[in-house]
Amino acid sequence: AQSVTQLDSQVPVFEEAPVELRCNYSSSVSVYLFWYVQYPNQGLQLLLKYLSGSTLVKGINGFEAEFNKSQTSFHLRKPSVHISDTAEYFCAVSEGSNYKLTFGKGTLLTVNP
């Protein structure tokens, strides 16, 4: 069965610093991987996705993620964060033709001035 582990529940950083949010997944078949962002009192917004091809994927708001099959990881990165990036970030995985999307517990990114 597929599962997702987000290794950090909270990540505080200063504005303009780089950030990495870590995600590991467990699956026995090929996967699709997603990062969603949730701002306070909002729904989930798709940040980026890995479906196939290049292992480095770029998303909205300057975020990117790298798919590492050997380490079963899909870490999210941004070289310079802004106050407006403060939000909850969720990593999610779905297997092949399986519709089920399994989410991690989320990482709260707090960007301080």
Residue 78 pairs in a beta bridge with 19
The β-bridge relationship of strands 56-58 and 102-103 is unpaired
Distance between CA 56 and CA 107 in Å, rounded? 21
Q: How far is the CB of 56 from other proteins (least distance, A)?
A: 18
Specify the residue, 67 or 106, whose C-beta has the smaller distance to other proteins: 106
Residues near other proteins (CB under 8 A): 4, 32, 34, 36, 41-46, 49, 51, 90, 92, 94, 96-101, 103-106
Between 7 and 44, name the residue whose CB sits nearer to other proteins: 44
The set of residues, in sequence order, having a beta carbon less than 8 Å from that of 106 and lying 6+ positions away, is 6, 9, 38, 88, 89, 90
Q: How far is the CB of 90 from other proteins (least distance, A)?
A: 5
Closest separation in Å from C-beta 98 to other proteins: 8
For other proteins, the closer of residues 19 and 31 by Cβ is 31
Given a contact cutoff of 8 angstroms between Cβ atoms, the answer to whether 22 and 41 are in contact is: no
